[in-house]
Structure 1
Amino acid sequence: MKIERLSQDKIRIFLTFEDLSERGIQKEDMWKEIPKVHELFSEMMDQAYSELGFDATGTLAVEVFSLPAQGMVVIVTRSKGYHAEDDLDDDDDLYEVEVTLDQSEWVIFAFKDFEDVIGAAKKVVNHLPESNGGSLYAYKNHYFLQFDPKAFEEGPLKTIIAMLSEFGDSSAVTPAVLSEYGKTVMTEHAIQTLCEHF
């Protein structure tokens, strides 16, 4: 479980499928009101407080995104205008949660340096359909390869994800963030272009 602060009132939590299975939770369970999911949420909020000082009292908006073959991203936003002192008279430290669920169709991997991107490209080039060579972005001192998994069959996609994992890490960054804040290096056929030139 990785937690990062996005702003004063917003955090992002990345859960791998291993994190879920260790707690006996299936991906589909995140959409259900069951005690295991409540326990996981409480654990996430405790960890967010201990690591980042993020106080999860008050009204929270929770967005859950499923990433194919990578895990889940949970974005927690505390309502604006909340102040810890508002709760001093309240013995009740329960929080109110509004949950939004979504599923990302994109496979995105982050690489620390360009050599890792080239290594990954050479490893997967023969397993990609011609129509899906991926896009390459630079963002926050990392390189990001982004693929649309709709062009893959289930088996080859798992193989490609396993190969990419040798060189980089699956990322919780969304395509919208990459296109808006990242620098576009190659918009399409990134894998084939990398292999032709390097």
Structure 2
Amino acid sequence: MDIERINENTVKFYISYIDIEERGFSRDEIWFNRDKSEELFWEMMDEIDDESDFEIEGPLWIQVHAMDSGLEVTVTRAYSAKDGQKFEPPFDMDEAKKMFQSDDESFNGIQGLDDFAKYEEPSDEDQKEFTFVLNDFDDLIPLSERMMEIADLETSLYFFNERYYLHVKVEIEEYSNEEIQDIVSMLSEFATKTNVTIYRLDEYGKLIMEHDVFEHVLKYFG
């Protein structure tokens, strides 16, 4: 995926259909399944946040241009009028009507998404979630030994695309932001943070351990 930072409030990225399929999504899902298209969108936004420091704040205006080889997407943080009441798009309504047209005009649009959409970032005020991919299952043993001292973590383990994925939920009421960053750093010593979502793992992956991954690993393999 190619990312271009336009300005403080706008970022543009291009993703090919090959890249989309490698992420576990089919073209039909992107065109006709709203849930899947939104899942892909937020996965890409996570990646953009990591690579370009484009923080997601409040409503976003999304402009999508479908091409023969992929999608070009422009994302702008919405800004309000002087009275603070009305959110205005960064492009006019004529542009909005054309945003889902392909180069050859044979594409009728991504069904399930409005031609002019305003998104709010999905959030959970009580938890933060992270997914890590492991190079080898054996890496879980020293990781589990290190993480056993950390309480109040919800963990699950999946097998997907010939690799193991560890999903971790942190109760934010139990830890400060700095402590959560420390937890992520500890996990990153043995695994790699990934943008693969828990929704894709639930649907396409195989659940290996539903909970208490570190305890189970040390019990059976430590």
Deviation at 1:121, TM superposition (A): 1.8
Q: Equivalent residues in 2 for 1:86-105 (5 A)?
A: 86=105, 97-101=116-120, 102-103=122-123, 105=128
SS of equivalent residue, structure 1 residue 193: helix
1:137/1:144 contact within 8 Å kept: yes
- What residue in structure 1 maps to residue 144 of structure 2? 121
Measured at CA, do residues 27 and 84 of structure 1 come closer, stay the same or move farther in structure 2, by a change above 3 Å?
closer
Q: Equivalent residues in 2 for 1:54-93 (5 A)?
A: 54-56=70-72, 84-86=103-105
Q: Percent identity?
A: 21
- What residue in structure 2 maps to residue 170 of structure 1? 193
Amino acid of the structure 2 residue aligned with 1:125: M
The number of aligned residues is 152
CA distance in 1, matches of 2:140, 2:202: 18
Q: Which has the higher helix share?
A: 1
- What residue in structure 1 maps to residue 179 of structure 2? 156
Measured at CA, do residues 15 and 86 of structure 1 come closer, stay the same or move farther in structure 2, by a change above 3 Å?
same
2:59/2:119 contact within 8 Å kept: no
- Per the normalisation by structure 2, the TM-score is 0.54
1:133/1:192 contact within 8 Å kept: no
Check if 1:181 corresponds to 2:181: no
Amino acid of the structure 1 residue aligned with 2:213: A
CA displacement, residues 83-142 of structure 1 (integer Å, 9 cap, x when unaligned): 54217xxxxxxxx5524231364221111221222232222221x21x435111111111
Q: How large is the Cα RMSD of the aligned pairs?
A: 3.7
CA distance in 2, matches of 1:139, 1:109: 12
Deviation at 1:190, TM superposition (A): 0.5
Amino acid of the structure 2 residue aligned with 1:103: S
Measured at CA, do residues 31 and 169 of structure 1 come closer, stay the same or move farther in structure 2, by a change above 3 Å?
farther
Q: Unmatched 5+ residue regions in structure 1?
A: 63-80, 88-95
2:47/2:195 contact within 8 Å kept: no
